[in-house]
Amino acid sequence: MTDRAAFYPVWAPDGERVAFSGESITGIYWSGVDGSGEAKPLVQGPNVKIPGSWSPAADRLVYHEVSATGTQRDIWTLPIGGTPEPFLATTSNESAPRLSPDGRWMAYVSDRGGTRRVYVQAYPAGGSVIAVSTAGGTEPVWSRDGRELFYRDGFSCLLCKSPPNLSSYPEARSSCFVPPMTSIPTLVAFLSMTSLWMGSDSSWCGASRVRRLAW
């Protein structure tokens, strides 16, 4: 798809395209997975930009950008063929934006309060901030049906089942070991493909378990 260095690939929902940061990481491009044609720029500029996820219809890309002002890392959305629109810009670092499969919720990582944690907000309205993790968390990933949210805390992969009204998230207490240098998207994809994924379904988070893997 590209003959130059590229980083942070993100699959489009239709599986036909991939968005990624270019060699300088200051521009985001997309390309068909069949290898035909050159990668096309989606958004460019002087600041670092990291793609996070697509909207369900693949008509909008969500990414975070390192700001040149005092807002540090901010979350933006880009309508394909349009102009970038800010979603979240505060004095904290917001990164790793992930839209839910139904496009109604945005999960992301923020260091508000001094520790990186996973949060959820309604999309596109924003509004109330829902804390998913209270003891730290990074790399949020939604399950395909949007009823579960995975994130990483050190070498643990934590699973949290979303309450029906998404008004709150109790802290996930179940975990599996994540080998060093393994990302949560990689782990979730591996578990999905190999059917090694296990879980119990009672309660929202407290009794939901992702069991230790036999590596």
What are the tens digits of pLDDT across the range 12-33?
A: 998 889 999 998 899 999 999 8
pLDDT band at 135 (very low <50, low <70, confident <90, very high): confident
Of 49, 5, 46, which Cα lies nearest the Cα of 25? Answer: 49
pLDDT digits (tens, 9 = 90+) for 139-182: 999 988 888 888 888 777 777 777 666 767 665 545 455 555 55
- Band of pLDDT at residue 189, cut at 50, 70 and 90: low
Residue 54: exposed, middle, or buried by beta-carbon count in 10 A (0-12, 13-18, 19+)?
buried
- Residue 31, beta-bridge partner list: 18
In this prediction, residue 116 carries a pLDDT of 94
Residues 212, 197 contacting (CB under 8 angstroms): no
Q: How many CA atoms lie within 13 A of 65 on its CB side?
A: 24
Mean pLDDT of the chain: 80
Strand ranges in 22-92 using DSSP code E only, listed in sequence order: 27-32, 40-44, 49-54, 60-66, 73-79, 85-88
